[in-house]
Chain A
Amino acid sequence: MDNKKLSSPDKLEKLKKKILSKRDLTKQVVTICTGTACQTYGSEKIYEKFVDEIKKQGLKGTVVEAKPTGCHGFCEQGPIAVIFPQEICYVKVKLEDVPEIVSRTLVRGELIDELLYEDPVTGESVAKDIDIPFYKNQKRIVFGNNKYINPKDIDDYIVLGGYSALAKVLSQMTPEQVLEEVKKSNLRGRGGGGFPTGIKWETTINAPGEHKYVIVNCDEGDPGAYMDRALMEGNPHSVLEGLLIGAYAMGSHEGFIYIRQEYPIAHENTSQAIKQAEEYGLLGENILGSGFDLKVKVHRGAGAFVSGESTALMNAIEGKVGEPKMKYVHTAISGINERPTCLNNVETWANVPLIIDKGAEWFNSIGTEGSKGTKIFSLVGKVNNTGLVEVPMGMTLRQLIYDVGGGIPKGKKLKAVQTGGPSGGVIPEQYLDTPIDFDELTKLGSMMGSGGMVIMDEDTCMVDTARYFISFCCEESCGKCIPCREGLRMLREILTDICEGRGKEGDIDAIQDIAEMMKDASLCALGSTAANPVLTTIKYFRDEYEAHIENKNCPAKACKALTSYYIDPEKCTACMKCLKNCPTEAIHGAKNEIHWIEQEKCIKCNTCFELCPLRFSAVKRISGEPVPPPPVPGTKVIREKRGR
């Protein structure tokens, strides 16, 4: 393997040229997104079918090629295939479309209209991905390379200029200059804290002790967020390069990448990336002949949300229980094995090579006064274009949800945006013009967090949302400190009571008291921020709490205990749809006999409500009032004779 090792930065440049010279740039390459979402829709089989089909049509080894890539971000429209060099984007590709794509588009260069994205507003089809509004309104500096790269092939990354920032650092910059550049860029931690990265690095540099560690935190635990997953799976070398540059600046020779257990593909691709980088001499000993060494190990998490907290994560790396420690001394000074340890999030590390390559000044030209650069968000929930989006800091919530996200499905009304995961809060509709950055969202009582953005419409109950986050934290609390452990339990009890119709006067005050106590007295950020979803929902949606407590009414008709299902006998046409599909056989009736729901058996799963054809709309949801009695069993449907 040693002959592959690059012994100087020049050799890297030569290798890049060599790879490029071997590649035919006029070649028609179809890239298939094999991110988790597209994979679910069968994209791996589609990729295999492309390979087979290219062979079958006698095109193997010619100017046509198929390539798997990481996540492109537009998960709603998956599986996605992009054809280069034209950058034609086909959405919702099916297995049976493959032969036609090969023969028509790859060979003859024709567009297949049916497979193009159709703009729901104008009704026109869009050929190139960059012209689709979802992509057009983004600024994809960190995430954008995913679509060009086969994550299992380091050459793809090198061709795009990969590892040139590392080469620059090792040959032209001192560690002090690297630190200075990162400080000047004003890069802030993307994992949620927003702490200035340069200052964190400086603390580790100044900490006493020769042996220092660097860590990539890919324990992305916030429910509703998967940015780090897509980066780690789709472009692992960009994270690795950032880590290398940081290690050089901090004089560290040992690094860890901690990946949560739920992300097996990220683990696989990262391990492969490390192996390939070592083969090229970009990792390991005497990197690019500079004398600088870095060894990197991958650790899998074992399923504990709180392990994403820095001190807990370091415990987990030491093979211990992932509980947080008291931060009398910062981990930057005393972390793993009580040695200085610098931990950054996946996205933070991935920004570093860009800053070195293009300069701090360029980075400062993007974003707002206090938050520079871009941020990747996972735009999910009740929004048309769900997926991963990267936008400059300072874009407003409205632009993000409507221009990029395409608005709310089924013509429903937006109620709130939940940001920052279990540590964040909800932001109501009236604040949609707020620019998104670290400081603005905090002012509203929420936070930007790691980048989860869950859109909620009128069918989402805010009390239930608060209860959801509290029970999430309740289960994930490690139980070490009392304010978090007991505070969360009490909050869960009160909120469950409210959702189930046992709410009483004074509950809201009690919640606020407990929340204050937790904020002040918890050991780590899990406990001190856990009450944010409750506090913001009370702040902006107090009337919903009051409706639950005073009238036993859930305005969104989402709380099961307060909602009943009822079939309107006037509207039921006895079509049997709901009756056949009720999972508990709670619906009675027969053909031509009006259906009715046996309330005792009903588990309120919403199946009947969804299946009842819109033109009948016979199934009703009722909250805050008694359910009318059902018709006498056996009542026949009276059919109106139309037009005769």
Chain B
Amino acid sequence: MTKISRAVSKAVGGYNRDKDMLIQILLDLQSIFGWLSGEVLTEVSEQLEVPVTQVYQVASYYKAFSLTPKGRHIVKVCMGTACQVRGSPQLLDIISAMLDIKPGKTSDDMRFTLETVNCLGCCAMGPVVVVDDAYNSKPSTPTLKKIFKTVK
């Protein structure tokens, strides 16, 4: 058994092979691997006995799933209305310029992936930037420079 088939088997088994739990199974696998490769999707299809087209349809529809590998550090900029009003578009431009990657993309050295999110539900602190699950409230340009320097 490969590492992937073992992980899939564990995830599928955790939900008693219930086909209705496809999304939950993919969520678990996404958090294990950081992305969903073709091999993962095929394995899920076989083990759960769901057509691969359906697995792919679900995996490509929802934002939580990534079909390409992601960088070592994930930078999320919240674009919710509250953050928008408080200047998140400018913040996104600054970060995009600093990391030299466009939103949604990963840097060539696989160091950073820059993502936008619609609302993280902590609107009072906007604009919010999340670097590897650490939330930063209203970071200034100098603060951002420091943060990106410290994560390798």
Report if A225-B21 is in contact (Cβ < 8 Å); known contacts: A380-B82, A581-B141, A605-B90.
Answer: no
Report if A224-B81 is in contact (Cβ < 8 Å); known contacts: A41-B137, A302-B23.
Answer: yes
Which among B64, B86, B89, B97 is the interface contact of A302 at CB below 8 angstroms?
A: B64
Report if A468-B81 is in contact (Cβ < 8 Å); known contacts: A220-B121, A318-B20, A583-B98.
Answer: yes
Task: List which A214-271 residues lie within 8 A (CB) of chain B.
Answer: 220-226, 229, 261-263
Task: List which B31-69 residues lie within 8 A (CB) of chain A.
Answer: 54, 57-58, 61-65
Report the count of interface residues on A (CB-CB < 8 A).
Answer: 62
Task: List which A294-347 residues lie within 8 A (CB) of chain B.
Answer: 299-305, 316-323
Which among A229, A320, A452, A611 is the interface contact of B81 at CB below 8 angstroms?
A: A452
Which among B58, B64, B93, B119 is the interface contact of A223 at CB below 8 angstroms?
A: B119
Q: Enumerate chain B residues within 8 angstroms of A378, measured Cβ to Cβ.
A: 82, 123
With both beta carbons as reference points, the residue of chain B lying nearest to A472 in the complex is identified as B118
Q: When the two chains form their complex, are residues B85 and A321 in contact, meaning their CB atoms are under 8 A apart?
A: no
**Is A606 close to B, CB under 8 A?**
yes
Report if A40-B125 is in contact (Cβ < 8 Å); known contacts: A302-B62, A605-B90.
Answer: yes
Nearest CB of chain B from residue A612's CB, rounded to whole Å? 13
**Is A421 close to B, CB under 8 A?**
yes
**Is A456 close to B, CB under 8 A?**
yes
CB-defined A-B contacts under 8 Å, sample of 15: A37-B122, A76-B124, A224-B80, A224-B123, A225-B121, A301-B64, A302-B26, A304-B63, A305-B118, A318-B20, A321-B58, A472-B118, A476-B118, A606-B87, A607-B94
Q: When the two chains form their complex, are residues A224 and B119 in contact, meaning their CB atoms are under 8 A apart?
A: yes
* 7 further A-B pairs in the complex, CB-CB below 8 A; given A224-B123, A604-B93: A37-B125, A76-B124, A225-B119, A226-B123, A300-B23, A302-B65, A318-B20
A607 to B137, alpha carbons, bound, how many Å?
16
- A63-106 toward B: CB 8 Å interface, digit per residue (1/0)? 00000000000011010000000000000000000000000000
Q: Enumerate chain B residues within 8 angstroms of A263, measured Cβ to Cβ.
A: 121
**Is A351 close to B, CB under 8 A?**
no
**Is B19 close to A, CB under 8 A?**
yes
Nearest CB of chain B from residue A105's CB, rounded to whole Å? 26
Report if A460-B117 is in contact (Cβ < 8 Å); known contacts: A302-B64, A319-B21.
Answer: no
Task: List which B109-152 residues lie within 8 A (CB) of chain A.
Answer: 117-126, 128, 135-137, 140-142
Q: When the two chains form their complex, are residues B63 and A386 in contact, meaning their CB atoms are under 8 A apart?
A: no
Which among A75, A318, A455 is the interface contact of B125 at CB below 8 angstroms?
A: A75
Nearest CB of chain B from residue A110's CB, rounded to whole Å? 30
Q: Enumerate chain A residues within 8 angstroms of B22, measured Cβ to Cβ.
A: 319-320
Q: Enumerate chain B residues within 8 angstroms of A76, measured Cβ to Cβ.
A: 124
**Is A8 close to B, CB under 8 A?**
no
Q: Enumerate chain B residues within 8 angstroms of A386, measured Cβ to Cβ.
A: 82, 123-124
Report if A321-B119 is in contact (Cβ < 8 Å); known contacts: A37-B125, A224-B81, A454-B81.
Answer: no
A606 to B91, alpha carbons, bound, how many Å?
9
A41 to B26, alpha carbons, bound, how many Å?
32
Report if A262-B81 is in contact (Cβ < 8 Å); known contacts: A317-B20, A583-B94.
Answer: no
Q: Enumerate chain B residues within 8 angstroms of A302, measured Cβ to Cβ.
A: 23, 26-27, 58, 62-65
Q: When the two chains form their complex, are residues A603 and B81 in contact, meaning their CB atoms are under 8 A apart?
A: no
A224 to B119, alpha carbons, bound, how many Å?
6
A-B contact count (CB 8 A): 158
**Is B79 close to A, CB under 8 A?**
yes
Q: Most B CB atoms within 10 A — which of A226, A318, A455?
A: A226
Q: Enumerate chain B residues within 8 angstroms of A478, measured Cβ to Cβ.
A: 61
- B73-106 toward A: CB 8 Å interface, digit per residue (1/0)? 0000001111011110111011001100000000
Q: When the two chains form their complex, are residues B121 and A36 in contact, meaning their CB atoms are under 8 A apart?
A: yes
A468 to B135, alpha carbons, bound, how many Å?
23
Q: Enumerate chain A residues within 8 angstroms of B136, measured Cβ to Cβ.
A: 40
Which among A222, A224, A261 is the interface contact of B27 at CB below 8 angstroms?
A: A261
**Is A564 close to B, CB under 8 A?**
no
Nearest CB of chain B from residue A380's CB, rounded to whole Å? 4
Q: When the two chains form their complex, are residues B90 and A300 in contact, meaning their CB atoms are under 8 A apart?
A: no
Question: Can you list the 5 inter-chain pairs with the closest CB atoms, starting with the nearest?
Answer: A75-B124, A303-B63, A302-B62, A224-B81, A226-B121
Q: When the two chains form their complex, are residues B119 and A40 in contact, meaning their CB atoms are under 8 A apart?
A: no
A583 to B145, alpha carbons, bound, how many Å?
9
With both beta carbons as reference points, the residue of chain B lying nearest to A317 in the complex is identified as B20
**Is A138 close to B, CB under 8 A?**
no
A468 to B84, alpha carbons, bound, how many Å?
8
With both beta carbons as reference points, the residue of chain B lying nearest to A606 in the complex is identified as B90
A382 to B126, alpha carbons, bound, how many Å?
10
Q: When the two chains form their complex, are residues A583 and B97 in contact, meaning their CB atoms are under 8 A apart?
A: yes
Q: Enumerate chain B residues within 8 angstroms of A560, measured Cβ to Cβ.
A: 89
Q: Enumerate chain B residues within 8 angstroms of A319, measured Cβ to Cβ.
A: 19-23, 58
Q: Enumerate chain A residues within 8 angstroms of B97, measured Cβ to Cβ.
A: 583-584, 603, 605
A261 to B30, alpha carbons, bound, how many Å?
12
With both beta carbons as reference points, the residue of chain A lying nearest to B97 in the complex is identified as A583
Q: Enumerate chain A residues within 8 angstroms of B90, measured Cβ to Cβ.
A: 604-607
Q: Enumerate chain B residues within 8 angstroms of A380, measured Cβ to Cβ.
A: 81-82, 85, 123-124, 126
Nearest CB of chain A from residue B15's CB, rounded to whole Å? 10
Which among B20, B21, B61, B118 is the interface contact of A321 at CB below 8 angstroms?
A: B61
With both beta carbons as reference points, the residue of chain B lying nearest to A468 in the complex is identified as B84
Q: Enumerate chain A residues within 8 angstroms of B24, measured Cβ to Cβ.
A: 299-300
Q: When the two chains form their complex, are residues A262 and B117 in contact, meaning their CB atoms are under 8 A apart?
A: yes
Report if A40-B26 is in contact (Cβ < 8 Å); known contacts: A76-B124, A468-B81, A468-B84.
Answer: no
Q: Most A CB atoms within 10 A — which of B22, B57, B65, B93?
A: B93
**Is A589 close to B, CB under 8 A?**
no
A471 to B42, alpha carbons, bound, how many Å?
34
A628 to B123, alpha carbons, bound, how many Å?
38
**Is A418 close to B, CB under 8 A?**
yes
A288 to B33, alpha carbons, bound, how many Å?
43
Q: Enumerate chain A residues within 8 angstroms of B98, measured Cβ to Cβ.
A: 583
Q: When the two chains form their complex, are residues B82 and A603 in contact, meaning their CB atoms are under 8 A apart?
A: no
